[in-house]
Amino acid sequence: MDDLPTADRRRAAGFVVAVVGALTLGVGSLLDWISVGIAGVEVQAITPTERGVDRPDGIAALVFAVVALVAAVASRGRSGRARPWAAAVVLAAGLAAVAVVGLAVATGPQRAEDRELDAFAETAGLDPDEVAGELGGILEGRAEPGLAVALAGAAITVAGGALLVAWAGRATRGRRPEPGPSPSASPDVAASPGMPPPP
């Protein structure tokens, strides 16, 4: 009984952290992720800025956010068997989102820059490698704030999922089967001959 308040606090904390993380991840997926501008010049991007949902990885991040949010709500349900699975789904969705958004942070700006160079070369009818050599140092792919927001949301979701998994595991281990009735106490046991019946 002494562990009950601690378990309740862990469960509530995991739920709140997971929901905040999923919402942050979802909002970050709707914000600007990548832009391409002139290197060393703090001006508006020369190409339309890509939001998260404009990209396949941003759509995936939004899907992971929705899955984590639904699973976090399910972890508060009454079904004891469903809670560990829901907690595991929150954690898995958070980890997947960290991988997807982290990859976008690492490679997204360079890919956007290469894409713009290839598009310019195709329009001008020039060799892409030659264009990349001439203009590669002029254009610059940039990570916009939405990427950082989404990555932070994914990390928070992982933390919430880990708390929920820890709570679910402790709750499962805390269950004990109720003892059955003692055979000696059964009223159906017949009294032996010459012996008084049991009271």
- Let me know if 164 is exposed, middle or buried by CB neighbors in 10 A (0-12, 13-18, 19+): buried
Region 17-36: mean pLDDT is 95
pLDDT tens sequence across 73-116? 988 876 667 788 999 999 999 999 999 999 999 998 888 877 77
Extract the tokens encoding 2: 């002494």
pLDDT tens sequence across 161-177? 999 998 876 655 555 44
Rounded Cα distance, 38 and 49, in Å: 14
Residue 50: which H helix or E strand, with range?
Answer: strand 50-51
Which domains occur in the chain, in start order?
A: 4-175 (1.20.140)
**CA-based nearest residue to 132, from 122, 121, 141, 143:** 121
Region 134-157: mean pLDDT is 86
